[in-house]
Structure 1
């Protein structure tokens, strides 16, 4: 059972992360909830779930960890993510998000002096080409504005991820950041109140996204991380867009276009090359 534990925890976490795309897309496509309300409900329910999990563990002071800067990045990610899924399929959004996150983290690493060698450059160029190919005009091209919003969400999440490294105990830090992001989301909902629409089914999707796919998903992932090697942890995240694509086809009846398949292979394959080449460089 001990050998199965890392696999089971990782599978649950990756499925939860992909579930965020499916839940948000289903809510924005099939219910009347607006993106601002979805964002607020997601962050509030995520903060409550994480606070509850910390309280069970005896930590009742989550605001001692985290920061307002990280909370801002978290809020920008969550808001842009919600608005983007008004026009993107679950698979398309997950692929754009993941590609933007990895491109952001790699680019910041380069800017900080981490010089990639040849194969890392090859992987980076391949992944970037996949992103460009995904956005080129055509019948199956995603809406440009929604795509740019999802890329913004990915950049924000990449910045959030880098800020979180070494910031403290991961679950406590995440809880503190979620709590700090709540008032930002509520301000957004207040500003957008004129176009707000409340839908019980949409609220249910938002609560599931925040409490289960986000709150519990992050908690499970942080349980799995110590059991994985750094490279394995990075590589396994390549599965998230794939799970979202399969879920989108099976659960939301979304089409799987040739453009999406080819771009997905280029983006995920390029990132896999970067990760593998980085491992060899470190060795």
Structure 2
């Protein structure tokens, strides 16, 4: 539970970079594919690839199913839905709410120190994301609210991962995907339309986005993340996700041709600054606030 070893730091940076680029991949895929259908397909592929590793212990399946509901449906399903309504660059900033929510969850669940300084950092981060609502290309506040719920689900999912206990990351990823896939496909059938037409209309960009989502952001990034979360407290590993916005904003502008507005820049600076306060004050805050 001490400092991260060099190999763990590299793993955390890799996770951050992969998740930052994930917003660009999701945006390319949801251009034609309905969000819940896309998320369901994602988990079908992950489950198929990882099926040989799916051997959770009997007592772990209940928590794996809970993880599928909270992370698979609650986080990923709502994340894909939110990204469809905003630029990839804005989504990369908004998803940083996962860090303030993680701090709040750790404060409630583990009594990790918060204090007024970290509380101010939380407020700054939320203010930065709220600024995105005024972005000229934003589709109202709805996608931001969906993103907020999605990031809260991500923070809660880390509690479930810790409760599951020792388990191979590939087994956890595969088991969660095996449960999440049918839930999301059923949800797609209930609330989405014209799935067959959407599949036929998807070009190489959408399928390339799906491939990145499955391999880079799912198999590689989440396996590394589960490994880090089991070895260290959340406040030790979450700060490295601060690198994600730079990757996502750059990718959105250069690869998708999204405009770089002052709302995105200012919102990104405020959000990252607030998150940095939340994370960097952890050590000095103990016993002082």
Tell me the TM-score normalised to structure 1 length. 0.83
CA distance in 1, matches of 2:270, 2:192: 41
CA distance in 2, matches of 1:116, 1:11: 25
Match in the other structure for 1:9: 11
CA distance in 2, matches of 1:225, 1:153: 19
Give the 5 Å matches for 1:26-37.
Answer: 26-29=28-31, 32-37=32-37
Aligned to 1:240, the other structure's residue is in SS state helix
Give the 5 Å matches for 1:127-142.
Answer: 127-135=125-133, 137=134, 139=136, 141-142=138-139
For residues 149-202 of structure 1, what are the alpha-carbon distances to aligned partners after superposition, in whole Å with 9 as ceiling and x for unaligned?
222211221211222224223613333222211110121232246321212533
Match in the other structure for 1:61: 55
Picking from 258, 264, 270, the partner of 1:266 is 270
Task: Specify every segment of 5 or more residues in structure 2 that has no aligned partner in the other structure, as ranges.
Answer: none
Match in the other structure for 2:214: 210
Choose 114-123 or 259-268, whichever is displaced more: 114-123
- Number of aligned residue pairs: give it: 271
CA distance in 2, matches of 1:225, 1:163: 11
For residues 62-118 of structure 1, what are the alpha-carbon distances to aligned partners after superposition, in whole Å with 9 as ceiling and x for unaligned?
47444322211121212111122222111211211221x223223334445555223
CA distance in 2, matches of 1:105, 1:223: 17
Task: Specify every segment of 5 or more residues in structure 1 that has no aligned partner in the other structure, as ranges.
Answer: none
Q: Answer whether contact 2:158 2:229 (CA < 8 A) is retained.
A: no
Q: Answer whether contact 2:16 2:243 (CA < 8 A) is retained.
A: yes
Residues 1:237 and 2:241 are matched in the alignment: yes
Query: Structure 1 residues 194, 222: closer, same or farther in 2, change over 3 A?
Result: closer
Aligned to 2:30, the other structure's residue is in SS state helix
Q: Answer whether contact 1:24 1:85 (CA < 8 A) is retained.
A: yes
Deviation at 1:244, TM superposition (A): 0.8
Q: Answer whether contact 1:105 1:162 (CA < 8 A) is retained.
A: no
Deviation at 1:50, TM superposition (A): 4.0
Residues 1:40 and 2:53 are matched in the alignment: no
Match in the other structure for 2:121: 123
CA distance in 2, matches of 1:276, 1:132: 22
CA distance in 2, matches of 1:257, 1:188: 35
Residues 1:107 and 2:104 are matched in the alignment: yes
Q: Answer whether contact 1:36 1:185 (CA < 8 A) is retained.
A: yes
Query: Structure 1 residues 115, 156: closer, same or farther in 2, change over 3 A?
Result: same
Q: Answer whether contact 2:106 2:112 (CA < 8 A) is retained.
A: yes
Residues 1:164 and 2:161 are matched in the alignment: yes
CA distance in 2, matches of 1:228, 1:242: 25
Query: Structure 1 residues 140, 239: closer, same or farther in 2, change over 3 A?
Result: same
Query: Structure 1 residues 141, 223: closer, same or farther in 2, change over 3 A?
Result: same
Residues 1:277 and 2:277 are matched in the alignment: no
RMSD: 2.8
CA distance in 2, matches of 1:7, 1:278: 18
Choose 103-112 or 126-135, whichever is displaced more: 103-112
